[in-house]
Amino acid sequence: MDTPDPTMSAVAMLDSIPSDQPDFLVDVEVDRPTPGPHDLLVHIEAVSINPVDTKVRMRAGKQKHPKILGFDAAGEVVTVGSQVTLFNAGDKVFYAGSNQRPGSNAQYQVVDERLVGHAPQSLEPHDAAALPLVALTAWEALFDRLGVTQSSTGTLLVLGGSGGVPSALIQIARALTGLKVVATASRPESAEWVTKLGAHEVIDHSKDLSEQISDVDFVFSSWTTGREVELATLMKPQSHLVLIDDPVDPNLGAFKQKAIALHWEFMFTRAMFNTPDMGEQGKILNKIADMVDRGQFQAVTATVLEGLNAANIMEGHRLVEQGKTSGKIVVRI
């Protein structure tokens, strides 16, 4: 690939502006980043937009300088830092990156090699870009937080099974564990989808879950507020609950009597705190890529927008905020 220009195009926020207002994101021209010793400089080929993108936009406030958003990305390595050992120029990669550095809504991005995986050979960049954040969150929730192993038995309940992370979790659990996977869904099309992904059973989360299932060993929750007693009732004593949402004033006492272990999963923790095991994320992504290429894991792309510009990224934010799509919103660059 040719050496890039010293500047690049990007899409950025200047202030926390609601998506029903015009120009809540803007096109900008900024300096192309320079990779540090452990960094890759990646030419971005596709990005996907997640709920966290919209949350960051609305929480960040007024910016002194344009703030480039975006996490999920797929692209090609242009140059590598002096201490990089895992990648070479020309490698196809995918990653979710860090929330402490400029994001992926740009022509180029620098990212620590430890957070990066080799992209699945069987996927186009726009499908590969739909995977990292949801796959990493699901994998960490299942294996690192819940402590599940390949030999684990019992029942895993996945709330909101048709969502991005739950869809990934169902596939990983079915492919790599012996758990019985029960997913929740309230619409026929959602129930059909989670069954296609591999859920053994589907129950209706618009009704009391504790009247439909009991003696659950592991629970994954992406919306927990108001469900604490319901979840505690259906779970076994000394079982495990992992959540990825931000429950308001959670009733943690509901879990005390059964000594239920509560875990939070936050995919950015390793990068935020530069943990000694930060490189696990790159390893996880490589495992996900292998699963994809073996037909054990599928990308869930709902909408593909063409071209890196503020209009497309804004449309992606609006679609995510509406919450009516099944699958990821992807921008092909």
Residue at 168 is within a domain: yes
Mean pLDDT of the chain, nearest integer = 95
- Using pLDDT thresholds of 50, 70 and 90, give the confidence band for residue 300: confident
Same structural domain, 221 and 248: yes
Which band of pLDDT confidence, cut at 50, 70 and 90, is reported for residue 162? confident
- Provide the pLDDT for residue 87: 98
In this structure, the answer to whether residues 217 and 141 fall within a common structural domain is yes
Identify the band that residue 301 occupies on the pLDDT scale cut at 50, 70 and 90: confident
Cα-flanking dihedrals φ and ψ of residue 239, to 5°? -95, -170
284 and 237 share one domain: no
Distance between CA atoms of residues 57 and 12, nearest Å: 10
Statement: residue 5 has pLDDT above 90: no
Domain tally for the chain? 2
What is the Cα–Cα distance from 132 to 97, expressed in whole angstroms?
9
Based on the fold, state whether residues 174 and 225 are members of the same structural domain. yes
Segment 38-66 shows an average pLDDT of 96
Residues 72 and 140 in one domain: no
pLDDT in the model for residue 122: 97
Beta bridge partners of 7: 31
* pLDDT for res 327: 78
Sign of torsion, CA 98 99 100 105? positive
Residue that is last in its domain, among 224, 239, 264: 264
**Residue predicted with more confidence, 82 or 299:** 82
Is 58 inside any structural domain? Answer: yes
The C-alpha atoms of residue 144 and residue 146 are separated, in whole angstroms, by 6
Query: Model confidence over 240-258: pLDDT tens digits?
Result: 999 999 888 899 999 999 9
Residue 171 lies in a domain: yes
* CATH number of the domain enclosing 226: 3.40.50.720
Is residue 269 included in any domain, yes or no? no
Distance separating alpha carbons of residues 154 and 182, to the nearest angstrom: 11
The neighbour count for residue 197, using CB atoms within 10 Å, is 23
C-alpha span between 162 and 20 (Å, rounded): 26
| Tens of pLDDT, residues 109-154 | 999 999 999 999 999 999 999 999 999 999 999 999 999 998 999 9
Alpha-helical (H) ranges within 99-146 are 125-128, 132-139
- For residue 288, give its domain range: 7-131+277-332
Same domain as 227, residue 162: yes
Work out the average pLDDT over 66-72.
97
Per DSSP, helices labelled H in 50-102 are: 51-59
Tell me, yes or no, whether 294 lies in a domain: yes
- Structure tokens given for 156: 């895993």
Q: Is the pLDDT of residue 60 over 70?
A: yes
Residues 194-248 have pLDDT tens digits of: 999 999 999 999 999 999 999 999 999 998 988 999 999 999 999 999 999 988 8
Average pLDDT on 8-34 reads 96
